[in-house]
Amino acid sequence: MARPNDEVEAVLQEYADLVAITGGDAFKARAYEKAARAIGGFPTDISTLDAEGLREIPHVGKSIADKVLEYLSTGRIPALEETRAAIPPGVRELIAVPTLGPRKAMTLYEELGVSSVEQLLDAIHDKKLRDLKGFGPRTEENILHGIDLARKAGGSGGRILIDAAMDVAEQIVAELSGTAGCEGCAYAGSLRRMRETIGDIDVLVAATRSGPFMEAIAALPYTAEVIAHGEKKTSIRTTKGLQVDLRVLPPGSWGAGLLYFTGSKAHNIRIRELAVRHGYKLSEYGLFHAKSGRRITSATEEDVYARLGLPWIPPTLREDRGEVAAGLRDELPELVEDGDIRGDLHTHTDLTDGLASLEDMVTAAARRGYSYYAVTDHAPDLYMQRMTDAKILAQRERVRELDGKHRRMRLLHGAELNIGPDGEVDWPGEFLAGFDLCVASVHSHFNQSRAELTRRLVRACENPHVSVIGHPTTRLIGKRPGIDADFDTVFEACARTGTALEINAHPERIDLCDEDILRAKRYGVKFAVNTDAHSTTHLPYMRYGVGTAQRGWLTKDDIINTWPLQRLRRFLSPK
DNA sequence: GCCGTTTTCGGCCCGACTGTTTTCAGTCG
């Protein structure tokens, strides 16, 4: 089930949309949008807050706090229901069509009575849009195209997994970097912030002449369509339906441009407000004096932040979750980095469902420069893996033989236990004691009650041999929601028992996610960033786990697989 | 509707591109 925060976020966002559609005060609509986002991302369960507590959430004032309380106690907000009554639900559906916004949607409804995508298609077919002011033949085409795209994107909201976006972005950056006149090229946007899914890719180029880059991107083999083509910006759609926006900036504007296009939007608004308070104006072209219009700086992100009294803020923190305030106090966390990771603590081989042999996995891991590496194949309770005591003990022999043979990397022999319906795991304590570490994860019975799921995870934490809870929510992005356990209780149990929570770096999982990490950290939990690699090609997924850990404000000390082996072993020893 | 070391009123981030316009509204990020 959705957290109350998510539910209220959706309700407030709906109200914001309806205010915009009905032509209400645009600032009021934005106020509701801001409050919706703030509540959705707020770490505390809002159903536990009173009016005073609610008003401590940014952008939540008296009016919205009252509406939230009303919603939480009655499930209704009269003001919202009145507005709903005036506007059929299908009208709101219209603004989900690209190129259709609240104004056009309302014109369609008022003038033609259109209140669904179906009716809109009929109206276009009957050429009824031709008579409307502001609607021309191209508008019709764009709407038809937009409907088509929205349908193809389906329920995923058109976002793709981070690794797929990263592949495309790195190819494009390589291509444009090699184009003559390129003085800088990088991807920005949500990809640079390492969000778990990516809506579109933003690529920046620093150059004095933009033409060659606009032509280069339009000519890429996987460019299916040029959506917009201008002097400063070109947007294309790839053959896989991914939108890429290319911006070419004067080299002197690089820092301000990179800052602007990295976002997030909420972070940008925050620092622009800061700029205004200093008597400046900040745009993608630089930081300017508001009055004289004279440029102060824009060459690097560091320069721009510094003039606003801030240290450089890592992109993964730029989500308006307090990073600006922390920066002003010089209290930004020293974030974990890729190079801090000393080993991977959750990996598989072809002894169970992995694709590569033990030797190949170990060789590939050593090549990554790890100082230790754990092999954690599935245990017997996942019976399709056909694990036996004899097989895992034989594997242990081979692991011991390989230990230290590859660039002196130390090997840990472990297992990924299955957390059964009652919280039990595969082997009794005396057998588990033979492992260097045990990861324990939920693999089935996802639909138990909240109480059962919670008790199940807590019992696993209480097992003295379980050191890490693997992919704690078991979600698969775009395919399966996470289990409905009371994770605050689970986090508390992890902290109490000294059990680490995994940040599973597989792009389909990213589990825990950034918001869960922020919540868990407040309980004093430790984390393990693991790839759950089933092949050598999965080992590089570590970067997505580290990015997610950064988004959760984690430092080296929070993450057990950045620790020296001795300290790690102490953590892994039976509790 | 929210917010406040210039303000409790009067602001609210800022700019690019498209399509319909002939000076600008709407949408998007």
Tens digit of each residue's pLDDT (9 = 90 or more) over A390-404: 999 999 999 999 999
- Measuring CA to CA, how many Å separate A346 from each of A218, A375, A395, A503? 42, 7, 16, 10
- Scan for tokens 């926006």, then name that residue: A245
**Residues 528-547 (A) near nucleic chain B, CB < 7 A:** none
CA of A541 to C1' of B27 (A): 36
Q: How confident is the model at residue A428 (pLDDT cuts 50, 70, 90)?
A: very high
Q: What are phi and psi of A493, to 5 degrees?
A: -65, -40
- What's the rounded Cα separation, in Å, for the pair A371 and A461? 27
Does residue A277 lie within 7 Å of nucleic acid chain B, judged by its CB? yes
Find tokens 């033979």 and name the residue: A434
The whole-number Å distance from A30's CA to B1's C1' is: 8
Q: Tell me the sheet residues that pair with A203.
A: A187, A246
* Lowest model confidence (mean pLDDT) among A113-117, A239-243, A308-312, A430-434: A239-243
The nucleotide whose C1' lies nearest the CA of A229 is B17
Tokens for A124? Answer: 């276009």
**Rounded mean pLDDT, A41-51:** 86
Q: Please write the tens of the pLDDT for every residue from A549-572.
A: 999 999 999 999 999 999 999 999
Does the nearest atom of strand B lie within 7 Å of A66's Cβ? Answer: no
Alpha helices in A426-540 (DSSP H): 429-432, 450-462, 487-497, 514-521
- Interhelix angle for A389-402 vs A358-367, to 10°? 40
Cβ of A61 less than 7 A from strand B: yes
A265 CA → B15 C1’, Å: 14
pLDDT over 50 (residue A1) = no
Nearest nucleotide to the CA of A67, by C1', is B1
pLDDT of A32 over the 80 cut: yes
Indicate the pLDDT class of residue A383, thresholds 50, 70 and 90.
low
- In whole angstroms, how far apart are CA A287 and each of A186, A251, A257, A326, A519? 21, 15, 10, 21, 35
CA of A61 to C1' of B8 (A): 14
Q: What angle do CA A216, A221, A225 make, to 5 degrees?
A: 80
B29 nearest neighbour residue (CA to C1'): A265
Answer for A286: CB within 7 Å of strand B.
Answer: no
Q: How far is the CA of A25 from the C1' of B10 (A)?
A: 14
pLDDT tens digits, A77-125: 999 999 898 888 888 888 888 888 899 999 999 899 999 989 999 999 8
Q: Are A559 and A526 in contact (CB under 8 A)?
A: yes
Q: Is the CB of A60 under 7 A from strand B?
A: yes
Q: Strand B: which of residues 224-243 in chain A lie with Cβ below 7 A? A: 228-233, 243
Identity of the highest mean pLDDT range in A11-15, A417-421, A492-496: A492-496
C1' (B22) to CA (A136) span, angstroms: 16
With the C-alpha atoms ordered A83, A87, A89, A95, is the resulting torsion angle positive or negative? Answer: negative
**Secondary structure (H, E, C), A76-109:** CCHHHHHHHHHCCHHHHHHCCCCCCCHHHHHHHH
Looking at residue A320, the DSSP 8-state letter turns out to be T
Residue A34: the pLDDT is: 87
Of A360-364, A381-385, A520-524, the one with minimum mean pLDDT is A381-385
Closest Cα partner for A17 from A103, A114, A90, A92? A92
Percent share of chain A, pLDDT over 90:
65
Whether the per-residue pLDDT at A138 is higher than 70: the answer is yes
* Residue numbers 309-348 of A with CB closer than 7 A to any atom of strand B: none
Q: Which nucleotide in the DNA or RNA is closest to residue A268, CA to C1'?
A: B13
Q: Averaged over A536-545, what is the pLDDT? A: 94
**In whole numbers, what is the pLDDT of chain A averaged over residues?**
91
Percentage above 70 pLDDT, chain A: 98
Per-residue model confidence as pLDDT tens digits over A50-80: 999 999 888 899 999 999 999 999 999 999 9
Report the distance separating Cα A529 and Cα A125, nearest Å: 54
Rounded CA–C1' distance between A284 and B15, in angstroms: 9
Region A133-161 average pLDDT: 77
Provide the residue type at A288 as one letter: F
Q: What pLDDT band is residue A152 in, cutting at 50, 70 and 90?
A: low
For residue A522, the model assigns a pLDDT of: 93
**Position A2 pLDDT exceeds 80:** no
For A239-262, b/e burial (b = at least 16 CB within 10 A) is eeebbbbbbbbbebbbbbbbbbbb
Residue with smallest Cα–C1' gap to B3: A59
pLDDT in tens, A269-302: 889 888 988 888 898 889 998 888 888 888 899 9
Is residue A218 within 8 Å of residue A234, measured between CB atoms? yes
- Bases in strand B with any atom closer than 7 Å to a protein CB: 1-3, 6, 11-21, 25-29
Q: Which residues of chain A (77-106) touch nucleic strand B at CB < 7 A?
A: 79, 95, 97-105
CA of A70 to C1' of B1 (A): 17
Q: Tell whether the model's pLDDT for residue A409 goes beyond 90.
A: yes
Q: Which long-range contacts (CB under 8 A, 24 or more apart) does A88-93 make?
A: A88/A115, A88/A116, A89/A115, A90/A115, A90/A116, A90/A117, A90/A119, A91/A21, A91/A115, A92/A14, A92/A17, A92/A18, A92/A21, A93/A117
Check pLDDT > 60 for residue A153.
no
A24 half-sphere exposure, CB direction, 13 A CA radius: 17
Average pLDDT of the segment spanning A208-223:
91
- pLDDT > 70? residue A155: no
A 132-161 residues, CB < 7 A, strand B: 133-142, 146
Q: Which nucleotide is nearest to A245 (CA to C1')?
A: B29
A437-441 and A410-418 as β-strands: parallel, antiparallel, unpaired? parallel
CB A416 within 8 A of CB A377: yes
Residues 346-375 of A with CB within 7 A of strand B: none
Q: How many CB atoms lie within 10 A of CB A25?
A: 10
Q: Which nucleotide is nearest to A269 (CA to C1')?
A: B13
List the single protein residue with the shortest CA to C1' distance from B15: A283
pLDDT band at A353 (very low <50, low <70, confident <90, very high): confident
d(CA A545, CA A513) in angstroms, rounded, equals 9
Does pLDDT of A532 surpass 70?
yes
Instruction: Kindly tell me if the per-residue pLDDT of A200 is higher than 80.
Output: yes
* pLDDT band of A575, cuts 50, 70, 90: confident
Taking the stretch 193-212 of protein chain A, residues with Cβ within 7 Å of any atom in nucleic acid chain B are 199-200, 202
User: Which residues, 6 or more positions from A120, have their beta carbon under 8 angstroms from its beta carbon?
Assistant: A94, A97, A108, A114, A143, A147
